[in-house]
Every structure is written in structure tokens, then in C-alpha cells.
């Protein structure tokens, strides 16, 4: 199993560095990575360096020595083995763990499945699609009461007006 960390935006400089966009909320796993796996085929590459420059994240892979070589990585996804990822804090989850969970109210009504996660400035919003249509659930403790990955369930409480009629 792999965890997608970043997408290559473009080459940077003349030594084979690449500017990347984070696909996770923190750069910690990317900074700690000794090896990344590239693309759908998960080709392994040793990480030579990861650095920050003017608000951007730059990565250099061993063997990539020119802008032309770096260009070949444009739009590729960098992943790490999930076993190499930093452990999550209690009640913290990766987005991929939440997709497909069955959302139900604290009263037991099944609302549907988590089909999308909207990353908003204040907090994420879970999009639940089911018999009542699309329901937006703020990813906050007052709305999400419990997430049980083993059972495949997310228990929520909703304010009046959040459910479509």
C-alpha cells in the first residue's frame, strides 16, 4: 500500500530539481522520505534532497541531473510506502481511509457513503451521497461523532437544515 504525497509541477533550476505540489496536509513525510515511488508503476527513486524555497517545495531525486530529465517527471505522483509514513495522532485519518465509509446519524439512519472530501480553509467537508441526495458534513467534532474504519462507518449528528427534504 502506498500514500500519495506530491505531484510534480515542473523542473526548477538547472540541476534537476523539481517543484512539487503537496497532496497531503503536511510535508513531514516528504521531508523524511529516503525513497519515493513514481507514477502508477511505482518506480523507486532515492531522494537526494527536499527543500523549501519562497513558499515552494523542491525535491531532487538521485540520478536526475538536468531540467530535461526533471521534465520527464512533470505531473507524476510521488508516493511512499504507507509503512514509512509518520504515525497519525488519535482521531486523525488520511483522506483515502474515509472514502466509501457509510455515514449514519447517531439515531442510526443511513445517510449514504462518503464520496468526496472538500478541503476548505477552516476545515474539510465530507460529501455524503445517498438516498436523500448529497449531504455536506463539516469535518468537526461537533458533527462527526465517531469514525470506525474497521466497521466502515462514520457516525454524525446534523443540525436542522443540513438534510435535504
pLDDT of residue 26 exceeding 90, the answer is no
Tell me if 60 sits within 8 A of 6, measured CB to CB: no
How deeply is 36 buried, as exposed, middle or buried, from its count of CB atoms within 10 A (0-12, 13-18, 19+)? Answer: buried
Residue 112: per-residue pLDDT? 95
Least reliable range by pLDDT among 48-57, 145-154, 156-165? 156-165
Per-residue model confidence as pLDDT tens digits over 110-135: 999 999 998 877 888 999 999 988 99
Q: What is the CATH number of domain 95-156?
A: 2.30.30.240
How far is CA 17 from each of CA 39, 51, 57, rounded to the nearest angstrom? 17, 10, 10
pLDDT band at 162 (very low <50, low <70, confident <90, very high): low
pLDDT of residue 9 exceeding 90, the answer is yes
| In 43-153, alpha helices (H) | 67-71, 95-98
Q: What is the CATH number of domain 2-84?
A: 2.40.30.60
With 0.85 as the threshold, say if the pTM is over it. Answer: no
Per-residue model confidence as pLDDT tens digits over 46-91: 999 999 988 889 999 999 999 999 999 999 999 998 888 877 777 7
How far is CA 11 from each of CA 16, 35, 126, 144, rounded to the nearest angstrom? 7, 19, 34, 41
Q: Where are the domains of the chain?
A: 2-84, 95-156
Amino acid at each position: 500500500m502506498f500514500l500519495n504525497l506530491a505531484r510534480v509541477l515542473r523542473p526548477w533550476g538547472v540541476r534537476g530539481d523539481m517543484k512539487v505540489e503537496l497532496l497531503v496536509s503536511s510535508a513531514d513525510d516528504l521531508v523524511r522520505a529516503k525513497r519515493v515511488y513514481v507514477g502508477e508503476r511505482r518506480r523507486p527513486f532515492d531522494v537526494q534532497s527536499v527543500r523549501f524555497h519562497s513558499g515552494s517545495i523542491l525535491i531532487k531525486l538521485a540520478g536526475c541531473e538536468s531540467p530535461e530529465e526533471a521534465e520527464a517527471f512533470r505531473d507524476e505522483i510521488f508516493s511512499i510506502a504507507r509503512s514509512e509514513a509518520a504515525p497519525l495522532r488519535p482521531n486523525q485519518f488520511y483522506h483515502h481511509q474515509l472514502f466509501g465509509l457509510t455515514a449514519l446519524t447517531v439515531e442510526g439512519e443511513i445517510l449514504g457513503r462518503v464520496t468526496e472530501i472538500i478541503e476548505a480553509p477552516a476545515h474539510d467537508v465530507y460529501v455524503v451521497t445517498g438516498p436523500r441526495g448529497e449531504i455536506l458534513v463539516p469535518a468537526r467534532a461537533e458533527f462527526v461523532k465517531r469514525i470506525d474504519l474497521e466497521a466502515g462507518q462514520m457516525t454524525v449528528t446534523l443540525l436542522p437544515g443540513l438534510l435535504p427534504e
